[in-house]
Amino acid sequence: MSTPKLAAASAAKARNILDKIPAQSDGNKPRKVTVYVGRVPLTVDEPEWCRGHQGDDAHVSNLEDFHHIGHAAEIPVPQPDGTALGGMSVVLMQWPFSAPGDNKQPYLSVEDDGTGQAAALDSVAGMAFADRLRAYADEVECKARQLAVMEQLGGQA
């Protein structure tokens, strides 16, 4: 249960985030994109946040398989050799021709392990997840500082 003070803080945070999202280049003219369902060209509205449809992303076998996908926010896990493990990826996604309630509206797709299995979050769940990530970052920093102390003491703390 949120208090009015927390609700006001959340609204202010949402406004702050919305202010950072670029305005649509031409709000009166939605972008269009041509995709192929089988061999049949289909022109559909393209949301500003979609990264576009080239190559395989422009071809689907069934109309229900067509989906918009935004640019990914990723957090790869660094390895000592400079490479990185897959880590987590978050993207805006929408399957506009799917059945109602089946991700027909935009949502946040959160994949944590590169398996293709992803959670579908609405904006409220996405904001709550972002809050947990900030707390998680603080916890990781705390552990890194704890390790730094151990390293200074020669592995003993």
- Counting Cα atoms < 13 Å in the Cβ hemisphere of 39 gives 0
Report in angstroms how near the CB of residue 35 gets to Zn ion at its nearest: 8
Residue type, 96: P
The span from the CA of 48 to the CA of 44, in Å, is 13
Which residue from 60, 66, 68, 91 is in contact with Zn ion, where contact means CB under 5 A?
Answer: 68
Phi, psi of 109 (to 5 degrees): -100, 120
- Report if residue 50 touches Zn ion, rule: CB under 5 A: yes
Report in angstroms how near the CB of residue 94 gets to Zn ion at its nearest: 8
CB nearer to Zn ion: give 40 or 153.
Answer: 40
CB nearer to Zn ion: give 50 or 91.
Answer: 50
Interior/surface letters 16-35, b for 16+ CB within 10 angstroms, e for the rest = eeeeeeeeeeeeeeeeebeb
- Report if residue 60 touches Zn ion, rule: CB under 5 A: no
- Report if residue 93 touches Zn ion, rule: CB under 5 A: no
Tally helices (H) and strands (E) across the chain: 2, 8
CB nearer to Zn ion: give 64 or 112.
Answer: 64
| Binding segment toward Zn ion, per CB under 5 A, in 48-56, 72-80, 117-125, 137-145 | 48-56
| Residues engaged in binding Zn ion (CB under 5 A) | 46, 50, 68
